[in-house]
A and B are shown apart, each in its own frame.
Chain A
Amino acid sequence: AQKVTQAQTEISVVEKEDVTLDCVYETRDTTYYLFWYKQPPSGELVFLIRRNSFDEQNEISGRYSWNFQKSTSSFNFTITASQVVDSAVYFCALTGGKLIFGQGTELSVKP
Chain B
Amino acid sequence: SQTIHQWPATLVQPVGSPLSLECTVEGTSNPNLYWYRQAAGRGLQLLFYSVGIGQISSEVPQNLSASRPQDRQFILSSKKLLLSDSGFYLCAWSPTGVGGYTFGSGTRLTVV
Contacts and interface: CB of A to CB of B under 8 A. Distances in A.
Interface of A: 31-33, 35, 39, 43-45, 47, 50, 89, 91, 93, 95-104, 106
Given A43-B108, A98-B34, A50 B46 contact: no
A99 B88 contact: no
B18 interface: no
B103 A96 contact: no
A45 B49 CA distance: 18
A99 B90 contact: no
A32 B98 contact: yes
Interface of B: 34, 36, 41-46, 49, 59, 88, 90, 92, 94, 97-103, 105-106, 108
B98 A103 contact: no
B49 A98 contact: yes
Chain B interface, >50% SS class: strand
A99 B106 contact: no
A35 B101 contact: yes
A97 B43 CA distance: 19
Contacts of A104: 42-44
A97 B98 contact: yes
Given A100-B46, A104-B42, A45 B103 contact: yes
A43 B106 contact: yes
Q: Tell me which of A39, A97, A98, A102 has the highest count of chain B C-beta atoms within 10 A of its own C-beta.
A: A98
A18 B17 CA distance: 48
B98 A96 contact: yes
Contact of A33 (B46, B99, B103): B99
Contacts of B92: 99
Given A32-B98, A33-B98, A50-B100, A98 B46 contact: yes
A33 to B, nearest CB: 6
B35 to A, nearest CB: 11
Contact of B98 (A45, A47, A95, A102): A95
A99 B42 contact: no
